[in-house]
Amino acid sequence: MTIPPAQSTPAQSTPAQSTPAQSTPAQSVAAQTPVVQPGTLAGPPPAAPPAASPAVSIPVSVTEPAPATTRPLDPPAPTPLRIGNASGFYGDRFDAMREMLTGGPLDVLTGDYLAELTMLILGRSRLKDPSRGYASTFLRQLEEGLGLAVERGVKIVTNAGGLNPAGLADSVRELAEKLGISVRVAHVEGDAQPVPEGFLTANAYLGGAGIAACLKAGADIVVTGRVTDAALVTGPAAAHFGWGPDDLDALAGAVVAGHVLECGTQATGGNYAFFGDHDVRRPGFPLAEIHADGSSVITKHPGTGGVVDLSTVTAQLLYETGGARYAGPDVTARLDTVTLAQEGQDRVGISGVRGEAPPPTLKVGLNRLGGWRNEVVFVLTGLDIEAKSRLVREQFADALERSGKAPAEVRWELARTDHPDAPTEETASALLRLVVRDQDAESVGRVVSGAAVELALGSYPGFHVTAPPGKGAPYGVFEAVAVAATEVAHTAVLPDGTRQEVPAPAVTLLLDDVPPPAELPAPLPPEVTRSVPLGLLAGARSGDKGGDANVGVWVRDDHAWRWLAHELTVQRFQELLPETKDLVVERHVLPHLRAVNFVVRGLLGEGVAAQARFDPQAKALGEWLRSRHLAVPVSLLGPG
């Protein structure tokens, strides 16, 4: 249900005293009550104005004030905080920072550059140059955006610091000096943890409290390392509205808004199941108008491409999530309490979000090199595709055995992209993919590439490969462990260099799964069905979390929800996606979103960097599901 904003409690009033107070020059309510203005963040109250020069005394008659009959006026509500996003990953649209700074009013601009794979990339970069380890693209974007941000009073908060937030903060100061722009730069550290033997990186996911401390100290730019993606929003919101660790519902609302913003244009029509309904050729980046109670409106700058509607926001809410409890360092947000409402063109309101105390532990992401990998893709054209596939596999197995250095892991996958009686050679061809792995570089290098090349004139008719075989490359492995939040030295390094320790939350709550809803909506009555793709009426978005994948599926009206909630069970999901039939699959029901979210444990092996699967991040798993046919009641389908 929608939770109304907390109401302020009126101060206790007392009758006016018969003796008048000492007379002083009249002061306005606004002068007594600090008000947060657009483009600023809440902080210490402004200094009192200087005393006025002595004035000529003019005798006046003083009328004793009448007794008060009404309570004093409430102070004005804080101005909503407008937080935009200009990056959803390391490599996102370069000119997004300038577009967001010039496209409309903002108070804070965020940039999310980090992912599990990015931390591995930065770890390898730091091996070559210890002074790096951060997302250098951010500096190049800032070179053209810093002046705009200062001119417009926009704070910048980014996790581009990666493995070296202090180094990036120093580089930002050097850039500002070169440009002749005065800015106050702060950074957050403490995410770096002791790196276990054999690993490259170990970083805890921090919350937004360190960011809030930096902003309250007057920072114009805050650089972090590994924080949760949503922390880039919860930190500025907490600083602006003065939230403390006990303001759980407000923090949870900001977490949900942050989760919608974190992947940039995925909230405005990018990677959207129903992309054909809108012009999504160049979606604008999203922003959130956050209110004091944690509710928000997701929107975008006027005139930018894409769309913000209930479905685009729902899709992003489901992305890379698990159960109804969405845990973070500051708060656990209850996704089963989220209420969405279309509030106008390209404006979706988020309200009703309930928060619970965060868990006592933080997630720590570990990255290591897992070994060496090589890949060869053979093209099989025309007739006898299966027989050609068998021949090359047998020949390759024999060549590897003769070499005496067969890789530890050998995987074949035949993709039947061929069509009968095809009009082009490409559409007449199938792809046979070989992937090998081993701890020894030589076992996946010359041994494999040589075996492939030597088949060139002695294998199946039409033999060729998509690219010359290479020498192989290292692959990464991601693991996640937990550490007590009290053991992590979360530290805000303020603009003046002061180091401020950020304490762990005093109240925590162990995570537990939310029980399924006691009742699902009433199922549809029996009726005639037709076998059609699920995607004719349901949207989906999928992604990765370590070695697991998630697939969120939603429908756009209550009638379809009555069908989906009962039809798309774990058993039916595994029937539609046979690749998951031997894996653990969980289903989580989110009635307010008319959605079910599936988590597939272990589908991605050791994570995206290990590239254990054709689609290593499960980005298209949802689209595969939508393409599968099942019996759908005709009342849910349009004519035809």
The tokens 């199941």 sit on which residue? Answer: 273
Q: Specify the pLDDT at position 405.
A: 87
CA angle 343, 344, 348 (to 5 degrees): 45
**Which pair of structure tokens corresponds to residue 29?**
């309510």
Look over the chain and give the mean of its residue pLDDT values, rounded to a whole number: 89
Q: Specify the pLDDT at position 222.
A: 98
Record the pTM. 0.86
CA distance 27 to 434: 79
Q: Specify the pLDDT at position 75.
A: 66
**pLDDT tens for each residue of 120-132:** 999 999 999 999 9
Q: How confident is the model at residue 610 (pLDDT cuts 50, 70, 90)?
A: confident
Q: Which residues contact 551 (CB under 8 A, 6 or more apart)?
A: 540, 541, 542, 573, 597, 598, 600, 618, 621, 622, 625
**pLDDT tens for each residue of 472-495:** 999 999 999 999 999 999 999 999
* Percent above pLDDT 70 for the chain: 88
Q: Specify the pLDDT at position 503.
A: 97
Q: Per this entry, what is the length of the chain?
A: 640
**Which pair of structure tokens corresponds to residue 63?**
């009328």
**pLDDT tens for each residue of 309-336:** 999 999 999 999 999 999 999 999 999 9
**pLDDT tens for each residue of 166-192:** 999 999 999 999 999 999 999 999 999
What does the pLDDT average to over 289-305?
Answer: 98
Q: Which residues contact 315 (CB under 8 A, 6 or more apart)?
A: 266, 271, 272, 273, 539, 541, 552, 554
Q: Which residues contact 452 (CB under 8 A, 6 or more apart)?
A: 376, 378, 396, 434, 465, 469
**pLDDT tens for each residue of 489-536:** 999 999 999 999 999 999 999 999 899 888 899 999 999 999 999 999
Q: Specify the pLDDT at position 11.
A: 37
Of the given ranges (73-82, 146-155, 275-284, 569-578), which has the lowest mean pLDDT?
A: 73-82
Q: Specify the pLDDT at position 46.
A: 37
| pLDDT score of 8 more than 50 | no
Q: How confident is the model at residue 612 (pLDDT cuts 50, 70, 90)?
A: confident
Q: Which residues contact 84 (CB under 8 A, 6 or more apart)?
A: 100, 106, 108, 109, 110, 261, 285, 286, 287, 288
**Which pair of structure tokens corresponds to residue 365?**
């992401």
| pLDDT score of 556 more than 80 | yes
Return the number of other C-beta atoms located less than 10 Å from residue 190's C-beta.
21
Q: Specify the pLDDT at position 564.
A: 98
**pLDDT tens for each residue of 68-113:** 444 556 667 778 999 999 999 999 999 999 999 999 999 999 999 9
Q: Specify the pLDDT at position 609.
A: 84
3-state helix, strand, coil in the chain (%, to 5): 30, 25, 45
Q: Specify the pLDDT at position 622.
A: 98
What does the pLDDT average to over 456-467?
Answer: 96
Q: Are the beta carbons of 98 and 143 closer than 8 angstroms?
A: no
What does the pLDDT average to over 559-580?
Answer: 97
Q: Are the beta carbons of 220 and 185 closer than 8 angstroms?
A: yes
**pLDDT tens for each residue of 390-422:** 999 999 999 999 998 899 999 999 999 999 999
